[in-house]
Structure formats: structure tokens, C-alpha cells
Amino acid sequence: MADLKNALSESSVVAVGICQLGQLWTLWTLRTIESAHTNQARPKDFTVQKTSFSIQRQQCAGWLCIVLTCAAFFSLVHTTPARACACCSDLGMRFEAANDINEYEKDELGRVRFGDTAQLFITPAFPEDIKGIVAPSDKPYDLRSVTGPKRWTFELSDSAGKQGTIVFPLPRRLVQFMVDPRDEATSAGGGPRLYKEWRLESTADLSGLVAENEDKAQATLILHGHGNGCTAAEDFTHWTLQVSGPDVRFTLLGRLKKAK
């Protein structure tokens, strides 16, 4: 709706400008013709002809203004659906790309808020499939997160009171992924609702209960959500943190709070 209002406003401004130019051109042309007639011998009904010519000139300028205004209006309004649909998605859409984090994405990352708990991804092989965590638990860990402009810190506490910290420096690049899951859901922007991810990879610093074997490891933080073809912090509802190294292997899962 905002795009439509902007387009209508722009069309009115352009139409007025074109109309004024058209009037000036028409009046100049007709005055040139009138001047040519004036230089010729004047007939007896010259005054009547001049009055009639003046009326015709005004009518011509008025009609030209209307035609040009309509042309400008319909030309701009015709482009409105494309502009209003900048965030539309298409059936079967799939997109994946890596890029340097721009200012918009940096601002949206700064709005992300983590929930108050996290839990380990557990398989039937638990706890043997977990490496690097002291006494891994299948119960949720208390989580305190600090999201700064350069690093995000995750402070974990288990039910026994043991604590651990993961410091995740924000990388220079991120991977964006969007796909139509074919679940028939529709997005607010028009078209199918997309499943989407932002993935961030960095080398994390580990301490406490998450540093049983190593104090550094590769980490991939994934923000999950749904939405239209444009992405904002509000789209993301869950997160995953995969941590791996020669003797480290665990994955934390959690929910996100409403964006700032």
C-alpha cells in the first residue's frame, strides 16, 4: 500500500510537470502560427477570427494537458505492481548465496534476541556422540546471551550449576538461503511462504563446561525462520549452533525472542 501511495504521488508530480511543459510548447506553437497570420493582410472579420483562434488555442492546450497527464499517470501506475512486489516470492523459488555483510544485514543481526534456554541436539547414541562437553545433559541449559557488534557470547549453565561460555566473533560474510517448501502456506508479501536461513561461520572460543577437550573450535550459527522474499530479524524464530573440531562435536538448539 505504501508503494502504491508513493507511485501515485510520483505520478501526479510527473504529470503536472509534463502538463506544464506541454502547455508551454502548445502555446509557443500556436502563438507562432498566430503571429504569421497577424503579419498578413487583416480581413474585416479579423477580430472575430482572433477571438476564435484564442479559444481554439486554449482548448488545444487543455486537451494536450489531459492526454499527457493520463499517459504519465498510467505509465507510472502500471509499474506499481512490480515495485510493490519487490518482496514477493515465486512458486518453487530457491536461493542461496554468500555475501559480505552489509549495513542493513548488520542492523538486522543487531536486533536478534536469543531465548533463555538451549539444549543439545541428541541422537540415540547420546551421550557417546557428544564430544567436548563436561557431563553432557539431555535437559535444557540456562542461557544468557550478549550480542555485541563484533562478537556474540553464549553463557551456559546446567542443572548442577556448572557453567561454560562460547564466544562467537561475528564474521565478515554470511550465507543466505531461501526455499519454497511447497507447504501451500502464503507469505504476507505475496507468493509462497519461504523457509529461510542466515548462516554465520567463525572460530569460537570455548571455556568451562564446553571446553573439556579444546578451547577453540569451528562454529556455524544458523538463524531459522519463514517469510517472504525480503528478510528481516522478525522472520527468524529459532537458532542452531554447530561446534566442531578434532575432539569437539556438539550442536546447541534454541528459540529466538521477538526482535528488538
Spatial distance between the Cα atoms of 53 and 61, rounded to a whole number of angstroms: 12
- Total domains present in the chain: 2
Q: How many C-beta neighbours within 10 Å does residue 61 have?
A: 19
Residue 260 lies in a domain: no
Range of the domain at 158: 94-255
- Quote the pLDDT of residue 29: 55
Give the pLDDT score at 180.
97
Residues 100 and 182 in one domain: yes
pLDDT higher than 70, residue 99: yes
Q: Comparing 153 with 187, which gets the higher pLDDT?
A: 153
What band does 68 get if pLDDT is binned at 50, 70 and 90?
Answer: very low
Q: What is the pLDDT of residue 95?
A: 97
At 90 the three-state DSSP class reads coil
pLDDT at 190: 81
User: Does a structural domain hold residue 89?
Assistant: no
Residues 102-120 have a mean pLDDT of: 98
Looking at the fold, whether 29 and 117 belong to one and the same domain comes out as no
Whether 15 and 35 share a structural domain: yes
Tens digits of per-residue pLDDT, 197-227?
A: 999 999 999 999 999 999 999 999 999 999 9
Q: Are residues 10 and 128 in the same domain?
A: no
In this structure, are 16 and 79 located in the same domain? yes
123 shares a domain with 22:
no
CB 254 within 8 A of CB 154: no
In the chain, how long is the greatest CA-to-CA distance? 114
- DSSP strand pairing (216-227 vs 194-208): antiparallel
Q: Which amino acid is at 152?
A: W
pLDDT greater than 60 at residue 59: no
* Residues 108 and 227 occupy one common structural domain: yes
Statement to judge: residues 58 and 99 lie in one domain: no
pLDDT of residue 236: 98
Instruction: Tell me: do 77 and 118 sit in the same domain.
Output: no
Sequence-distant (≥ 6) Cβ neighbours of residue 110 within 8 angstroms: 147, 149, 260
pLDDT digits (tens, 9 = 90+) for 112-154: 999 999 999 999 999 999 999 999 999 999 999 999 999 999 9
Instruction: Using a cut of 0.75, tell me whether the model's pTM lies above it.
Output: no
Q: Is the pLDDT of residue 232 over 60?
A: yes
- In the prediction, which pLDDT does 39 show? 53
Residues 100, 157: one domain?
yes
- Asked if 105 and 24 sit in the same domain, the reply is no
Average per-residue pLDDT for the chain: 81
pLDDT for the residue 188: 83
Residue 85: pLDDT band (50, 70, 90) is confident
Which of 40, 56, 84 is the C-terminal boundary of a domain? 84
Q: Identify whether the C-beta of residue 217 lies closer than 8 Å to the C-beta of residue 184.
A: no
* Structural domain ending residue among the three candidates 42, 63, 84: 84
Residue 260 has pLDDT above 50, yes or no: yes
Same-domain check for residues 7 and 40:
yes
Indicate whether 59 belongs to any domain: yes
